[in-house]
Structure 1
Amino acid sequence: MVPAIFQRQPRYVWFTALVVLATIFLLALSHSPFRPPFYFSPRTDGELQALIAQSELVYKQLLLQRKDFITKFGPTPDKISMFPRMQEYTVWDFFPAAFNCPHEISRIGRLGEGGKWVCGLSRIQDKQDCVVYSFGISHESSFEAEILSRTKGCKIYGYDFTVDGFGPEITSGVKDRTHFEKWGVAGVDAHGKNDETKMYTLLSLMALNGHKYIDILKMDVEGAEFDALGTVFKEFIDANEPLPFGQLQLEIHTGSKHFEWYLGWWETLERAGLRPFWTEPNLVFLNYLEHVPPELAEYSFLNIRGENDLISSTHRSTRNSMGWEAIRV
């Protein structure tokens, strides 16, 4: 019967066989820790510039909407509450992830706490001098482990003064591509002999490691992100230089911050060239604490200024050739 069916409907038989094989492969893959690399057609510089310029226009429209939103509920920033009762907004509604990553977006690491959304991992999966910084390890390293499994040359530099090393997800097979120090990141250096907890600025760590550029910067440091990043923003904005990293995965902890202050910090982030392309509220901590507002949110940012694998196919400096200026707010 099979030969007869093959003779009458050869395309149907081949298609059915392919579906069966693909199903078997996917089932096997779902039970395996291995994740295959993904290969996407590279975009030209012209295509990237057009996509990013279009996204920038959309984002500038968002800024106008933000001003109207503040006027509606303020009418000035000092009158806006972060998490008001009986109102139609929270602070996160003023800062949506309205920018489009011009490449694939993939979840790296586990679902829930620990994983991050990354733009264009395929752009660096074959890069031999790829550098990843990870601040805030805790006891879970699925993000770092998957970065290592999905790339050929990425090295991860981890820092966390609350633990002694990476989590169990970092196995012996990839450990040689990791570096860990029990240090923290801050807005100022404090790592003298009398400092029990060693704190470094991001730029000090980069100088110590001999790095001028970071491909992926991940930061989950329980509120220290404001000072740690604020120092970097100021230095590079004042020098009119692009930030020294391609993208940022950041958990933001608003805590006791006031809206007017937070708006100013966010606008500094925008002036530095960062654009949010993904966000999700972190609601897990609400499972542990009762009667608290959703003060934590995960954001992923793309750096649209400078030499960057995500915005340039030729790795040349694009700071003065992309056809736009940093947002002025």
Structure 2
Amino acid sequence: MFDRAGLIAACEAHGRIVRVVIASVQGSAPREAGAAMLVWDSGQSGTIGGGALEFELAAAARELRQDRRSRHALGPDLGQCCGGAVEMLSEVYDLNRARALPHDLVARGPDPMPLSIKRLMKAARNQGQLPPAQLKDGWMIEPVQPEDQDIWIWGAGHVGRALVDVLRHVPGHRLTWADTGAERFPRNVPDGVTTVPAIDLPALAAHAPEAAHHLILTYAHDIDLGLCHALLTRGFTSCGLIGSATKWARFRKRLATLGHRVDEIDRITCPIGDPSLGKDPHLIAIGVAYRLAQSTQTIPRRLETLA
């Protein structure tokens, strides 16, 4: 995906940036269409597969002053063992150009936009599905990586620790980890994870972003219920609760008694993850991570008009 936020951050830190992206692949190649790297005068980030191709294009990017498209036969031209060929697009960005990019789909090519591209964009808008990165009829199309989503993990027990261990490796998320006391967290919390000890977790829920995803798995059913009630009142993008069918049936009745409509209660998923994988904490976490990854493959509510 096109990491718009990462490109903007790179422009803010380093000024002029060249984004080098694989536009298309024929045969065998180290990376797929859409793989990209950012290059600036004193460094680079990301990878298009390493080796001679990456070295050559990174060096060329530092001298580049305007967008360039190039084709490389990996074996004959570069001596790489891959037998395929790649078409590359190198684009020069400053901060203004990066900020002007759409938030959902980036499509660019020679004017006028072909009918095939207009149809692809319309289908993406109507069906809500992100198209893969591709070069089509001379136009490069890439879905934009959504801005980081907030995930709040409620509970620092075995499942909570497994969720943090797995989700911290999944790009595109900010993790906030809450429990009733600082002593409940492990001694070494991974970088990038914000811990919040709070005696009253349901009260803390009122301060979570309305667009956050929530995973409730504390040590006490009354705290879990209080969090469900607080989050239904607060609002959320998604909410998952660990528990059995019996626990969820009881919670549904009590949440209805607390004044929540059935359609609101049904927005809470119980149990979390994929039950077919089993109840091991890390298998639960893998199921959760898979579902979150699936949720990023849809068009955001606001689709830019590119035609």
TM over 0.5: no
TM, length-normalised to structure 2: 0.38
TM, length-normalised to structure 1: 0.36
